[in-house]
Copies of this chain bind each other. A is one copy, B any other.
């Protein structure tokens, strides 16, 4: 995990389709070396995959929300089943199981607020839910480049 590896991480997180030759040239190393390094990053699990990013507006899913869910204490035993259910919903982008006031946060994307209403009503049917509240997402920004953190001084 040296300087070269982090540079490759940075490049590939920005554009996973950069050619090997191109990256090698930018970093001043041989293409074969570059390939070897990237293979190492994959084998060590540092790079877990390569994914195309889809624009939610382009597929008519411009409305996003965070749905906070608290289970009934007696239903916490079935938390995993509940989690699987929410994750299986096509509207769900990501799901957090968290400490604090809520047990789960579901980040969802739907067509419009009407569809959001329908989704919340559908979720609220689940018996294991003790409390549910939704927040509309006005803005969402995801960092494309995730890097190792330097040790704090």
Contacts and interface: CB of A to CB of B under 8 A. Distances in A.
Interface residues of A, number: 66
Given A87-B141, A92-B143, A48 B55 contact: yes
B135 A16 contact: no
Report whether over half of chain A's contact residues are helix, strand or loop; otherwise say mixed. mixed
Given A48-B53, A49-B52, A50-B50, A149 B91 contact: yes
B138 A51 contact: no
A59 interface: yes
A45 interface: yes
A141 B95 contact: yes
A50 B139 contact: no
Nearest to A118: B152
A140 B94 contact: yes
A134 B101 CA distance: 10
Contacts of A9: 52, 54
A13 B56 CA distance: 13
Among A49, A94, A139, find the residue whose CB has the most chain B CB atoms closer than 10 A: A49
Interface centre among A61, A94, A101, A149, by most chain B C-beta atoms within 10 angstroms, is A149
Given A12-B52, A51-B53, A66-B98, 11 more contacts: A16-B50, A16-B52, A45-B55, A47-B53, A56-B146, A61-B149, A66-B96, A97-B137, A105-B105, A111-B149, A118-B152
12 contacts: A13-B52, A16-B17, A44-B58, A56-B146, A61-B146, A66-B98, A87-B141, A92-B143, A98-B136, A98-B138, A100-B134, A115-B149
